Structures are given as C-alpha cells and as structure tokens.
C-alpha cells in the first residue's frame, strides 16, 4: 500500500506544503511566495515573514492535501523544516506541524533544510541515486557535498564569505534592480555582453568559494561609471558579473569531481534556477534539480522525511528550530 508524506517548509519567505508518495511521486506542491510583500523593503523582513506564515500555513496545507486528493488521516508522516533559516518563520511551521501530529497521531519528522534541497533529487520519474557530488547553491549557502547515501552527506567545500545567491542579490542591488535580485539580474544579463567587463574569480585553497571580491569589483565599476554611463552599461555589467559567479561555480564543480573521483554531479538550490548556470551545467552533463524544486518547497522536505527517523508524541514536543548549522 502506498504511503503518503506531507511536507511543510517555512524557513524564509515561502510558505510551502506538498504531498508525495513513499515512492517519490509528487502529488501536490503548493508554494505561496511573499516576494511582493518584501519587495518594498528590498529584502526579507523576518518579522513580516513570520506574521505572513501565520496567515498562510493552514490554507497552504489544506490546499496541498486537497490537490493530492488526500486527507490528514491518509498521511503516514509529517515532515517539517527544523532549520536552518529565520527562527521566527521556522517556529510557525514547526509549531503548526507539531499541532497536526498531536491532533492526528501522525508521526513528525524534523528535516534539515539543506538535506531537503539534496532530497529534491530523489523525486520524480528519474530520481538520482547516491553516490554523487552535489553543489548546493542558494541565497544563504554555497556548499560542495559528497552524497554517499540518502540520509547523510559530507561537506567538502563552502563559501568563506557571501553565498552565491547572496552575491547575485547584492549585485542586483548595486545595479539598481528590483527584488528578488537574483532573477532580476538573470533577466537583465540575457541582454548584455558577458565579455564587456573582466570581474575576478577568487582562487581559494581547497574547494572553498569566495564571492566578496567580485562583489567589490562590481561596486567600484558602478561608482566609476556614474549614473548616465551606468544606465547604458547596466546590462553588460549584469552579464559580466553573472559570468564571473557562474564560472567560479563551474570550475569548482569540475575540480571537486576530479579530486573526489565522482562521475555523477548534481546541483540544487535557488541559484540552480539561474539560466546561465543551468546552460553551463547541462552542457557538462550535470544533473540539475527541476526548476519547480530549486527554490524552497514542501516536496523536498517530504522527500527528505522518507529517510529520517519518525518521532512520536512525547519525542517531538521538545524539539526546537535552529537558525544555523
């Protein structure tokens, strides 16, 4: 008999819920984004995000169950993001999931958000099986992982400063683009000349990343141009800046795959939605998470919950959210 898993994700500014089968089929995947709300502030405001999650979590879960043609009593486990993320936002989802579990008697499965991103590769008609090398690139994290089984991974490289997604967002802000910055910069870069400017690619020891240098180089380029010239060169700056970040990611992936002797390589996280990066990855035969599963979503949390311990009533009441690993 097929078992169903409900996944709930509230780590930042997406209220998301999904229902999947224990075989990895996605039966529903509902995401309510707060991007328009936070656009007026130029970034995510934690208090605003938490209050919006409070308003949305119940209808989003109800919608996910309805689309899956399921009721809560049909669910065998409830997976929920425990961290890392914004603590206030996480507590909304975690508290709601605890309440659902308590009321229904369905076991609760706390899930690490980063492990959820990796688990997005285990879904769909062509799931990826370990072992493989994985780049997790998002607004808050840039990590190289060796995934040897379904429920764990080894970190072999990370960023020394900004995450790749953070670098895209900060670059977009320097160029006067809207929020969310990463997608805005991606759209503008498609109309520019990526060879117009030569921005630096950091050469770090080992397999680590650094994006502070390229961000500083863009800052000085913008200051040197002035407003009038910036308006003319904005697309070229965006394309050249994007190219530097993408090349840094691609070079590290190739280096890591060679040093770890890994034949299969995959990329997950919000940055995997960047069109230039996806093109470069696909040209190299790298497995990329589907666009719908790149940004935060409930399906990836439900997927990770398949391989994590289920907690019963007295075991899950004391667990708490965490902001960082």
pLDDT tens per residue, range 5-60 = 999 999 999 999 999 999 999 999 999 988 888 888 888 898 999 999 999 999 99
Give the dihedral sign, CA 203/205/206/208: negative
Rounded distance between C-alpha atoms, residue 57 and residue 17, angstroms? 8
Going by C-alpha positions, the residue among 4, 52, 11, 10 that lies closest to residue 26 is: 4
CA distances from 114 to 2, 14, 82, 295 (A): 26, 15, 10, 12
- Give the CATH number of domain 132-263: 3.30.420.40
pLDDT at 221 over 80: yes
> pLDDT by residue (tens digit) across 156-189?
999 999 999 999 999 999 999 988 899 999 999 9
- Say whether pLDDT at 126 is over 70: yes
Q: What is the DSSP letter of 159?
A: B
Q: Which residues of 107-143 are buried (b: 16+ CB within 10 A; e: fewer)?
A: bbbbbbbbbbbbbbbbbbeeebebebbbbbbbbbbbb
Give Cα 185 to chain centroid, integer Å. 17
The CA distances from residue 182 to 173, 287, 298, 312, in Å, are: 10, 21, 21, 40
Domains 4-123+294-316 and 132-263 share a fold: yes
* 127, 293 contact by CB (below 8 A): no
Residue 21's CB is within 10 A of a number of other CB atoms, namely 16
**Rounded Cα distance, 274 and 196, in Å:** 20
CA-CA distances (angstroms) from residue 87 to 37, 108, 308?
19, 19, 21
For the domain spanning 4-123+294-316, the CATH number is 3.30.420.40
222-279 confidence digits (pLDDT tens): 999 988 899 999 999 999 999 999 999 999 999 999 999 999 999 999 999 999 999 9
The residue whose two tokens read 């099986």 is 129
pTM of the full predicted structure?
A: 0.94
Q: Please state whether 195 falls in left (phi above 0), alpha (psi between -120 and 50) or beta.
A: alpha
What is the pLDDT, as a whole number, of residue 61?
98
210: number of Cβ within 10 Å: 19
The predicted structure's pLDDT at residue 153: 94
The domain locations on the chain are: 4-123+294-316, 132-263
Residue 154, burial from CB neighbour count under 10 angstroms (0-12, 13-18, 19+): exposed
What's the pLDDT at 1?
A: 66
pLDDT at residue 191 greater than cutoff 90: yes
């Amino acid at each position: 008999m097929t078992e169903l898993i409900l996944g709930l994700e509230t780590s930042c500014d997406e209220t998301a819920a999904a229902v999947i089968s224990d075989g990895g089929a996605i039966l529903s995947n509902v995401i309510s984004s707060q991007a328009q709300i936070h656009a007026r502030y130029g970034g995510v405001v934690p208090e605003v995000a938490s209050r919006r999650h409070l308003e949305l979590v119940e209808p989003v879960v109800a919608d996910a169950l309805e689309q899956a043609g399921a009721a809560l009593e049909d669910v065998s486990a409830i997976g929920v993001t425990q961290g890392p993320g914004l603590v206030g936002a996480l507590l909304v989802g975690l508290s709601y999931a605890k309440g659902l579990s308590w009321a229904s008697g369905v076991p609760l499965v706390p899930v690490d958000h980063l492990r959820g991103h990796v688990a997005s590769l285990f879904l769909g008609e062509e799931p990826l099986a370990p072992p493989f090398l994985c780049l997790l690139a998002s607004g808050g994290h840039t990590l190289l992982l060796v995934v040897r089984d379904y429920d764990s991974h080894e970190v072999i490289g990370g960023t020394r400063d900004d995450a790749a997604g953070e670098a895209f967002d900060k670059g977009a802000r320097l160029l006067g683009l809207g929020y969310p910055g990463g997608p805005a910069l991606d759209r503008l870069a498609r109309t520019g000349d990526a060879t117009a400017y030569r921005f630096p690619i950091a050469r770090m020891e080992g397999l680590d990343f650094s994006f502070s240098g390229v961000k500083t180089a863009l800052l000085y380029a913008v200051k040197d141009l002035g407003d009038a010239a910036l308006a003319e060169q904005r697309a070229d700056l965006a394309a050249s800046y994007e190219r530097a970040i993408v090349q840094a990611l691609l070079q590290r992936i190739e280096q890591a795959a060679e040093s770890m002797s890994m034949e299969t390589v995959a990329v997950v996280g919000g940055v995997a939605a960047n069109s230039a990066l996806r093109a470069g990855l696909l040209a190299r035969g790298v497995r990329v998470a589907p666009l719908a599963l790149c940004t935060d979503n409930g399906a990836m949390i439900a997927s990770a919950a398949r391989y994590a311990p289920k907690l019963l009533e007295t075991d899950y009441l004391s667990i708490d959210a965490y902001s960082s690993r």
